[in-house]
């Protein structure tokens, strides 16, 4: 939970994006959240509901925050206690996906002009060939590793 900032110079519409359109977008992406609620005021989207796990909640925040007119996302979603692992007993994140990745260590990376996923992987992981990890962490918002754009915010999971 918390407030996440996105690009400041996004266009603000009359009252911001339609909350029903945001709900439909999240549903279309197949992101798992029960009793999903969205309110938008002054560029801030407040999200409520029960997300399947912390990684899913993080993906929902990214999907909502990358909409025009959204400058901040106030994540008030909850997750089941079974998906929250105390740091002292946390197991390493599985390599196949990041459903149980340490969300506290996830970096929110704002894409700049000229960025590529391999370039971001090189900068943050030290190895360009690890770009599929970033791509997978941003599915289903990303459908192709070559389709990122300046101003978009990506989730970058820890190694």
Is 106 found in the same domain as 76?
A: no
Same domain, 68 and 106: no
pLDDT tens for each residue of the chain, 159 residues long: 677 777 655 555 555 689 999 999 999 999 999 999 999 999 999 999 999 999 999 999 999 999 988 999 999 999 987 655 444 334 334 334 444 456 668 889 999 999 999 999 999 999 999 999 999 999 999 999 999 999 899 999 998
Element (H, E) at 38: strand 33-41
Same domain, 22 and 68: yes
Enclosing domain of residue 141: 101-156
21 with 51, same domain: the answer is yes
How far is Cα 159 from Cα 149, in angstroms, rounded to an integer? 24
Q: Answer yes or no: do 66 and 115 share one domain.
A: no
Pairing assessment for the beta strands 44-51 and 72-75 based on DSSP bridges:
parallel
23 found inside a domain = yes
The answer, as to whether pTM is greater than 0.85, is no
């Amino acid at each position: 939970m918390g407030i996440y900032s996105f690009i400041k110079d996004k266009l603000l519409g009359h009252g911001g994006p339609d909350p029903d359109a945001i709900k439909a977008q999240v549903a279309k992406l197949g992101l798992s959240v029960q009793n999903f609620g969205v309110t938008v005021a002054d560029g801030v989207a407040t999200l409520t509901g029960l997300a399947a796990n912390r990684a899913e909640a993080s993906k929902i925040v990214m999907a909502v925050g990358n909409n025009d007119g959204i400058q901040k996302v106030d994540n008030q979603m909850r997750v089941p206690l079974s998906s929250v692992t105390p740091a002292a007993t946390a197991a390493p994140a599985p390599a196949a996906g990041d459903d149980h990745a340490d969300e506290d260590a996830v970096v929110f990376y704002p894409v700049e002009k000229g960025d590529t996923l391999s370039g971001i992987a090189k900068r943050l992981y030290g190895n360009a060939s690890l770009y599929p990890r970033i791509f997978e962490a941003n599915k289903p918002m990303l459908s192709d590793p070559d389709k990122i754009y300046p101003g978009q915010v990506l989730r970058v999971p820890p190694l």
